[in-house]
Amino acid sequence: MVSTAYRFVFVPLGLAAIALGGCAQYVKKTDFDTAIAELRANDQKQQQQIDALTQEMRQKFADYDAKIAASAGRVRVDAISHFAFNEANLRDEDKPLLDDYAKVLRGHFPDALVTVEGFADPAGTDAYNRRLGLRRAKAVRDYLVTSGGLSADKVRAVSYGEAVNRQAVRGAWGDKGEPNRRVTLVADFAGSPAAP
């Protein structure tokens, strides 16, 4: 009879202890809500930084007729530099825009991570155009670092060559293909804004 009484008392207590022990791994709703609120606030702060960078660049580049687009935490400046057929030399008329771009980043977003995207028109082989696009991207990257004063480890170069889904004028080459022979700048990450 005593063992039955123990069973009725200790078995439920043991099960309750096991159940409570398993619950120790769960996060309290208030802690979860606090963490989510902090993440949302951080996300909102980063979006505000991207928006500020976008607005600043829109003002600077209105004179150059460059297209500015912001999406998914990135700022993209289209039509930064165009190149002659089969060339990767940076034109003098493109340098003032690159100087302004570097000045905005240096002055307001010194930690920004920039990707220089190089493109080619569809004349030539895919492999050749990928190499040519990379030479163009490197020419702009080198200019941004040496003349623009941007940090070399914050500016990277990539090539899309003649990628069909990235051509400005699909299939155009020669005189009509200049919009395809270009470099685009993408600020992938704005970083922390500079202190005023």
Dump pLDDT digits (tens) for 7-48.
555 556 566 566 555 555 677 788 888 888 888 888 788 777
Strands 67-71 and 182-189: unpaired
Residue 12 domain-assigned (yes or no): no
Contact predicate 81/94, CB 8 Å: yes
Give me the pLDDT at residue 130, please.
94
Residue 3 domain-assigned (yes or no): no
Angle between helices 95-108 and 126-146 (to 10 degrees): 60
Dump pLDDT digits (tens) for 145-184.
999 999 999 999 999 988 877 777 777 777 777 888 889 8
DSSP state letter for 185: E
Residue 13 domain-assigned (yes or no): no
Is pLDDT larger for residue 70 or for residue 153?
153
In angstroms, the CA 161 to CA 194 distance is 35
What stretches of the chain adopt beta strand conformation (E)? 67-71, 74-82, 113-119, 155-161, 182-189
- The sign one gets for the Cα dihedral 146, 149, 152, 157 is negative
Residue 45 domain-assigned (yes or no): yes
Residue 196 domain-assigned (yes or no): no
Residue 7 domain-assigned (yes or no): no
Residue 15 domain-assigned (yes or no): no
- The reported pTM is 0.62
Tally the domains of the chain.
Answer: 1
Answer whether residue 79 shows pLDDT above 70: no
Structural domain span for residue 72: 25-189
DSSP state letter for 154: G
Give me the pLDDT at residue 76, please.
61
CATH of the domain at 103: 3.30.1330.60
Give me the pLDDT at residue 10, please.
59
Residue 112 domain-assigned (yes or no): yes
Strands 155-161 and 113-119: parallel
